[in-house]
Chains A and B, each alone.
Chain A
Amino acid sequence: MTMKNPKSVAIINSRAPFSSPAGKDALDLALIFGSYEQDVALFFQGDGVYQLIPDQEPALIGQKDYLKTFAAFEFYDIEQVFVCARSLRERQLTTQFHIENVSLLEPQQFAQALARFQAIFRF
């Protein structure tokens, strides 16, 4: 579906993946904006960075693995994925992610990148 003058939309993920439905709700929104050919970017910050960690096994706690859908971002034309470098450091996480083409940004650059978007959602 195409619309004239697509909007640029940023979706911030700030919650861990399986303790609440926030990450899944954010993903659903991102995929919808993507399928309407809007200019969508995903930002991961705070505990949201845990959504990018590889080799998670949510089935062990009876959860659906919505993270594997991240692999379909390209199909939905979601090409911009940003992660807060400081949030990773604070949690002693590496820059190994389960998807490719993730841009690592320091807080100030992260904020500047975010400011370029016309609409921002936060989960």
Chain B
Amino acid sequence: MGQKLAVVITTPPYSNLTATALDYVESALNAGIEIVGVFFYQDGVLQANSNISIASDEFQAIGQWQQLHRQYQLPLHLCITAAEKRGLRDDLSPGNIHEVFTVSGLGELVELTHQADRVVQL
């Protein structure tokens, strides 16, 4: 059976569901499953907002995405249309999209779905 996975994230960074998503992604990577990419859609794009500040004793989603990106070179794709709707901009200086995220469009999700053996939406 194929082992390539694509993951779609639709939950905001302050949601417990994002903690579940991060656990899922990390477990897959630890198990040697290849993740062709993580795609952020709907409120999931808020994960990329570099201005988000969450109290230090609360769950830090951005820090974990960064760590996974650096440790596993995990591609993190952002739907720019969904992002711009929510105030994330890459056309201003300084922008507010965290550097570990790649600005993409829905076409990228088609590519990821095509490459993957399995797609999981969280």
Contacts and interface: CB of A to CB of B under 8 A. Distances in A.
Interface residues of B, number: 15
A9 interface: yes
Contacts of A21: 42
Interface string B99-120: 0000000110110011010110
Chain A interface extent, by class: 10 to 19
Interface of A is mostly: mixed
Contacts of A93: none
B8 A7 contact: no
A106 interface: no
A43 to B, nearest CB: 14
Interface SS, B side? helix
A59 to B, nearest CB: 20
Contact of B113 (A9, A22, A25, A122): A9
Given A25-B42, A119-B119, A121-B8, A7 B106 contact: no
Interface of B: 8, 41-42, 81-82, 106-107, 109-110, 113-114, 116, 118-119, 121
Among all A-B residue pairs, the 4 with the closest Cβ atoms = A119-B119, A32-B106, A36-B110, A119-B113
